Amino acid sequence: MKIKLHILCIPLILVMLINGQIATYMIILSSLLWHEMGHLVMAVLCHIKVKSCTIAPYGGEIEFAHPATVQPSALLWIALGGPMATIVGIGLSLLLPELLANALVKTQLILLCMNICPLIPLDGGRIVLASLYIYCPSTQVIDYYYGASLVMATCLLLGVISFLPHVLFLIVVCLFIWLQAWKEWRYRKYRLAFEKYAMKRLT
């Protein structure tokens, strides 16, 4: 399995280095790695082989070795693995010295709140998508959901730019989320073709 750093993390790292926020970045990176470890552990428990894991500004992206064989229930548990790991991480952080504990808890709470938002590519969106596979396996519904994710990502980006224009870090993260949501929406027809195949496996 390969672990990679997403290319859009580079400008984010540069911004934080220029602003002298090296310690903050290390806390964010360690929280992201812990979060992704939760996804990977859950993939192992579900007996799913992972090809690569890319660390992104909001979390990460896992590529399965054989995506067509991954059951919706496994997708659901793997998506839940990250938030579950973050919750455990918050609990463990409380055992550390107060100064470090406060920084870790704050960072992981922000990461948790962001990741449970119900839009793709966040964990909340993956949880909703896996649930649709299980409880409402309709390509039309999933198509609508891709569109709804793009709308939510657009509102999030515009909201941050309008109300928090000085928080460059958050703007970069929201821009990345929007780009991923747009990419998912743009290629939805190809994904839906695969999803039709996946749904046939369930019937």
Burial class (CB in 10 A: 0-12, 13-18, 19+), 176: buried
For the chain, what are the domain ranges? 2-202
Q: Report pLDDT for 125.
A: 92
Q: Report pLDDT for 202.
A: 44
Query: Considering the entire predicted model, what is its pTM?
Result: 0.80
Q: How many angstroms separate the CA atoms of 25 and 182, rounded?
A: 27
Q: Report pLDDT for 80.
A: 93
DSSP readout, 117-133? SSSTTSHHHHHHHHHHH
Q: How many angstroms separate the CA atoms of 122 and 74, rounded?
A: 17
Q: Report pLDDT for 150.
A: 93
DSSP run (H or E) holding 150: helix 139-163
Give the ranges where 46-94 is alpha helix by DSSP (H): 72-93
Show the beta-strand stretches assigned E in the chain. Answer: 2-5, 50-56, 59-64
Tokens 């799913």 correspond to 48
pLDDT, tens digit only, all 203 positions of the chain: 666 666 666 666 666 666 666 667 778 778 888 888 899 999 999 998 888 877 766 667 788 887 777 888 899 999 999 999 999 999 998 888 888 888 889 888 988 888 899 998 899 999 998 998 888 877 788 888 999 999 999 999 999 899 887 777 778 788 888 988 998 888 877 666 655 555 554 44
